[in-house]
Amino acid sequence: MVEDDVKDEASLHTRRGWLMARTTAPGGLADQSVEPLSSADSAAHHIVEFCLKDGPVGRIGLEIEAHCFDLADPSRRPGWQELTSVIARLPAMPGGSLVTVEPGGAVELSGPPMPDTVSAVAAMASDRSVLRAAFAQAGLGLVLLGADPVRPAARVNPGARYSAMEEFFRESGTAAAGAAMMTSTASVQVNLEAGPRSGWGDRVRLAHALGPTMIAIAANSPVLGGGFTGWRSTRQLVWSQLDSARCGPILGADGDDPADDWARYALRAPVMLVNGPAAAAVTQWVPFADWADGRVLLGDRRPTVADLEYHLTTLFPPVRPRGFLEVRYLDSVPDATWPAVVFTLATLLDHPAAADGAAEATEGVATAWDRAAELGLADRELHAAAVRCVRLAAEQVPDALEESMSRLVRSVEQGRCPADDFADRAVSYGIAEAVTHLARGEL
């Protein structure tokens, strides 16, 4: 198993499911990848052309990360060989997910796009069941929390990309936040169609506007590395401590042209890594535009389209265009909750009436990212927006997701997010014991 190749395979597995025809067609990405870019303008043109795909809404893909714990000793971080040995013995996932290991040993399921939320949830749930059983046989448990509540940040995945990322974060003065981001956080990622071209501006604006409210609903990381942080979503706190040029929202002043906004964002963002036989960190501030225009040469050359595509994988905004939309701002949440959280987000973006209501409900809190992460549903305005949003989604819920949705609505109406439940358990049992209970499936 080649560490970086495995993660790249998962990324390509996800992207190919959405973009197979376009990325393999003559004159597409494969044909252009080795040609040097002539300028920043040519890079911008490429981004604008490929970052969003015109088409109907409806399909959805899911990616879920879970922290891996030793059932006998939650303070021990299972090693790379231990994790990959379990994965090597797995059968094919019934829902089609690929299984990969994050830098700190979290295990990720990356599912293919499915026709609708019900089928996406069912496929992911079946894959999680197989995965949990296999890890339990090895004495390991998979815990859905937004941040590792027990162990200090540490990398176990030996991939060259992650070593280079560590170097980049050290040199940029964000070593602690970078290490925590890579090795101590976990999320539920929702991938949705970009939708019809005429609605891209409204759709991407709403995906961002929903961010704070959805963060408050799904906040599930009140503890990091053995201590309470005072934030409901410490995962979001960690991301906020990283460079906003790489991790902030992509929207421009009005958000009317998200493809152009993304191109501008990507070209201004500093290059993190130069890809090659092994990824190399760029330890000076070099916006990609400067590299593309030839003002700075990295690796003694100008960038190719492949370099541009690689650069885009090192940008981590809360909503990332990849032909489809990656919604990246949700904490990893429990099995009883994530189906409803996923359905809520997808419905508020895909159902016209729900989208209109959600835009109105979130207008006053559309930029309250930090407040949502710190206070969750304890904030009065975010609580009101969240209640309105989950009720809008509940009006559309299918029978298969009704139980999860009813649970979510009750919790939100009570002003409780998953972080509140875990905090109560941690106070009652102790942090490590609460994690062990979750790892064993006892809570």
What is the set of domains in the chain, with CATH numbers? 50-440 (3.30.590.20)
The full 3-state SS of 200-251, as one line of letters, equals HHHHHHHHHHHHHHHHHHHCCECEECCEECCCCEHHHHHHHCCCHHHHCCCC
- Give the model's pLDDT for residue 21: 38
- Give the model's pLDDT for residue 278: 87
- In angstroms, the Cα distances linking 363 to 316, 332, 356, 382, 399 are 24, 25, 11, 10, 30
Average pLDDT rounded to a whole number, residues 160-164 = 96
- Give the model's pLDDT for residue 14: 63
- Give the model's pLDDT for residue 247: 96
Per-residue pLDDT of 288-328, as tens digits, reads 999 999 999 999 999 999 999 999 999 999 999 999 999 99
Ranges 18-22, 145-149, 355-359: which has the least confidence? 18-22
- Give the model's pLDDT for residue 19: 56
Q: How confident is the model at residue 252 (pLDDT cuts 50, 70, 90)?
A: confident
Nearest to 247 by CA among 220, 221, 223, 266: 266
- The proportion of the chain whose per-residue pLDDT surpasses 70, expressed as a percent, equals 92
Cβ contact 43:64 at 8 Å: no
CA 280/CA 287 separation, integer angstroms: 16
- In angstroms, the Cα distances linking 137 to 79, 90, 130, 134, 148 are 16, 11, 11, 5, 22
Average pLDDT rounded to a whole number, residues 136-150 = 98
Average pLDDT rounded to a whole number, residues 368-372 = 97
Instruction: Return the bridge partners of 110, or none.
Output: 63, 98
- Give the model's pLDDT for residue 314: 97
CA 271/CA 267 separation, integer angstroms: 9
Per-residue pLDDT of 27-62, as tens digits, reads 444 455 678 899 999 999 999 999 999 999 999 999
Alpha-carbon dihedral sign for residues 195, 368, 183, 159: positive
- Give the model's pLDDT for residue 16: 61
Tokens of 219: 């906040």
Q: How confident is the model at residue 443 (pLDDT cuts 50, 70, 90)?
A: low
- Give the model's pLDDT for residue 2: 42
Ranges 52-56, 250-254, 433-437, 439-443: which has the least confidence? 250-254
Query: For residue 11, is pLDDT > 70?
Result: no
Average pLDDT, the chain: 93
CA 332/CA 349 separation, integer angstroms: 20
Q: Is 313 helix (H, G, I), strand (E, B) or coil?
A: helix
CA 298/CA 14 separation, integer angstroms: 29
Alpha-carbon dihedral sign for residues 226, 231, 236, 237: negative
Average pLDDT rounded to a whole number, residues 141-167 = 97
Q: How confident is the model at residue 23 (pLDDT cuts 50, 70, 90)?
A: very low
- In angstroms, the Cα distances linking 224 to 76, 172, 238, 318 are 15, 23, 10, 21
- The proportion of the chain whose per-residue pLDDT surpasses 90, expressed as a percent, equals 89
Helix (H) or strand (E) holding 62: strand 60-70
Query: For residue 254, is pLDDT > 80?
Result: no
DSSP secondary structure code for residue 197 in this structure: G
- Give the list of residues 6+ apart from residue 352 with CB closer than 8 angstroms, or none: none
Average pLDDT rounded to a whole number, residues 79-107 = 97
Average pLDDT rounded to a whole number, residues 82-86 = 98
Q: Is 349 helix (H, G, I), strand (E, B) or coil?
A: helix
| More confident site: 194 or 22 | 194
Helix (H) or strand (E) holding 280: strand 280-281
Per-residue pLDDT of 173-228, as tens digits, reads 999 999 999 999 999 999 999 999 999 999 999 999 999 999 999 999 999 999 99
Helix (H) or strand (E) holding 126: helix 117-137
Give residue 26's region: left, alpha or beta (phi > 0; psi -120 to 50): beta
Q: How confident is the model at residue 22 (pLDDT cuts 50, 70, 90)?
A: very low
Per-residue pLDDT of 260-295, as tens digits, reads 999 999 999 999 999 988 899 999 999 999 999 999
Nearest to 32 by CA among 14, 53, 50, 7: 50
Query: For residue 382, is pLDDT > 60?
Result: yes
- The backbone torsions φ and ψ at residue 27, rounded to the nearest 5 degrees and listed phi first, read 85, 0
Q: Is 73 helix (H, G, I), strand (E, B) or coil?
A: strand
CA 133/CA 127 separation, integer angstroms: 10
Helix (H) or strand (E) holding 355: helix 352-362
Cβ contact 169:179 at 8 Å: yes
Query: For residue 26, is pLDDT > 70?
Result: no
Alpha-carbon dihedral sign for residues 261, 267, 270, 274: positive
CA 351/CA 362 separation, integer angstroms: 16
Q: Quick count: other Cβ atoms within 10 Å of Cβ 139?
A: 14
Per-residue pLDDT of 323-354, as tens digits, reads 999 999 999 999 999 999 999 999 999 999 99
